[in-house]
Structure 1
Amino acid sequence: MTIAQQERTASAPHGFDVEVTSGLERFSVQHGELTLTSVFQPIFSLSHMRAVGYEGLLRAHDALDRPVSPLDVFGEAARLGDVLQVDRLAQTLHLENFKVLGAEREWLFLNVHPGALTDPYLAAALLANLKRLDLSPRRIVLEVLEQRAEDLERLADAVRQFRERGFLIALDDFGAGHSNVERIWQLNPDIVKLDRIMLSHAAHRADMATILPGLVALLHEAGKLVLIEGVETEHEAQMALACDADFVQGFFFGRPNPGAADAAHAATCISEVTDRYRDQAEARERRNASRLTPYLRAFERAAERLAAGEPLEEVCWNFLALDHAARCFLLDAKGKQAGRNVVLRADRAAHETRFLPLADAQGANWLRRPYFRAAINAPERVHVTRPYLSINEALPCVTLSVATRVGDQTCVLCGDIDWVEE
């Protein structure tokens, strides 16, 4: 052991040792018959194209140097009633190794059992370790694990006090177990980590893929940064980009390692996947524009005929004859529907009987709908909504709308198109 290593070992808590593996120094500690140490998985900002943090992860080996799962370590600790002590040991170990890592501005994400946050002694020990290592609380993101908290009000108060000291708070595994929307309101985290299972479902199910961007948008509106964890494939990386996630973590971008992330490799990886995402998004927009063209032509002609005084039931036929055209309807200048929906095909009418209470829309007010507001704000031009869920059949829909003069009145002609992504 070199003199520098001796000095580092002497300054570390009792029982910690410095070992050198592949030229990298790191601390380890004995826990019973196990040797515990740290690895760090980088967390990347997609916009900055670099690591902005590292999550400290426990690694354990038995007396024969066989790996032992961290789940087994904590499972055995739970059986012995020793979880908080092992949690504190892991925190201390990660802090020591993070200091050796040499990260100058990145965050350290520390997994923390809820009980460790509410225990005054363990909280004081964390602060003491930071002071000893000259690490600011602003460099630490406390990940509140999804385990059930015995006293949620007490946990929320403890989280508030940690935040007042400068710590950031992350809610781990959102969408799994006890980590749900209610806990967001109660703990008010700075960062929400979406559980891996949500990304996995979205990668294999079209309905979940549609939900994920909306969920991220909801969390953004609530003032939370969003981290998607468990990104393992190019497809999942593309989904993280598509839903506007702030941060990503997973094997696709970087595996857990004792050392820091390869900055050049990370920048290249994120840049390449972003370029491919842009190309795919542009190709999808071209396909959608081509797909919309016949509907737009028929709809524009219908608006011209309506303005010339022809009845709604007559002007919509060419539009409604197109494969995925659903219905036409007419609104007044205040968003109130004049007359019933115009539906051409018998199969459409039969399908809508499942939603019979909604079938008669005469007199309904669509003032809140984006298609009405867009048309009123910029009349005499056709507007196209983003895909949304139609109330008529609970199916994805795109609405065309145009405000035009019919006699001496301003009206808004609307046409719905079933919109299943191709």
Structure 2
Amino acid sequence: MSGMLDSGTRLTAENGDEVEITGFLGAGGQGEVYRVRTPAGERALKWYYPTCATPEQEAIVRELVDRDFADDRFLWPEAYVPEHHGSYGYLMGLRPDRFKGLPALFRRRLRTSTRALLTACLYTVEAYQALHSRGIAYRDISWGNIFFDPATGDVLVCDNDNAVVEGDASGISGTMEFMAPELVRGDPGARPGTQSDLHSLAVLLFMLLMNHHPLKGRRELQIHCLDEAAERKLYGRDPLFVFDPADDSNAPDPAEHATVLATWDAAAGRLQELFRRGFTTGLHDPASRVRESEWRNALRAVLDSVVECASCGRQNMTEPGENPPPRLCWGCGQRLVLPPRLTVTTAPPRTEHHIRLRRAARVHEHHLDPEPARHDCSDASLVAELVEHPSKPGRYGIANRSEETWTGARSDGTVQRIGPGQTVPLRSGLELDLGGGARAVVRAG
């Protein structure tokens, strides 16, 4: 095994746990990661290079361990492992194999879907929002620290040892491509924090959905050597969004940037508007950057509006709400035929969610909550789903997957009760009382 620590090496964490090195997992810019055996089971150990094992970094790790941020979306430092041969480290959970790195996505080596990518974006936003709500700035949001499940969109944030209390000026400023322009320029008084995190988050979301960096257009193609000085100009001194509506001098080149031109055209207008704001006024005014709550609401609405093309089966974003503009499939170019939508109205404070009743459409617990703390699109939160009649192809109904008994009212006034596990035939005008003050109605258009 190559690395600073040999297999079989035994260490003692500060919490008293005995730690035995069993394997080498990888290396990064700050240190190496090992698989280890502990009394609590297998864990990962990050071990810093001696040059990175500074007193300042040690203080950050100890503070993060003391915070005990229990959130399953983060591989948070669990225990500090004291100095051994000139360095130190910390224990964290192991990353399950189903979580893949974003470089594989950007190189098109992963099979995923529009719905999974939107879900990953939604979960990513909420993960960082949870961190920010506790007064912690991540400071290094980038493609290297997020892993996702291409099948479900579940996310896992790794390398959390650079997060600090908001206002702390110690440590790193981030990865150049993701850093806010004021940090790249080194403006007086500018320091990494939640406001700069919002810029980094917008860059990450753009890359997830568009497979391209938002500031890399024709201007980058004119750079002969992309050295540090060129990067500072591109990302800091003279940043320009590739789809800036007022200046097309950095627009994508049709020959070199065909992917981002196609993915941008396929994106919902509601997301395009947020990206425009984040990468125009948001580049120069940190206070106008898109907040996590704005991203969350837009991503959820667009996710609920994804439909499959009737001609080729590919998933397409459509505009949320009623009577969206006509749209062509990004895959085959055929006009999309939109299915009916289920409008769910929550208990007070009233909030409406419009869910396109595509094949296997689902309603989750967060759709019934006016202010959900966290979205969950897994089976565990399933409330209802669209199912096809087992013996009558093309006939659909809404199946009750909750523990509540619903009341359904048809447009002719007929009322029926739908118990857990039962299905009510899908008809325009069908109204459902889902319990707890939440109601739903099936509408066309």
Structure number with the bigger relative contact order (C-alpha 8 A, sep ≥ 6) is 1
Is TM > 0.5 for Structure 1 vs Structure 2? no
TM-score (norm 2): 0.27
Higher normalized helix content (fraction of residues): 1
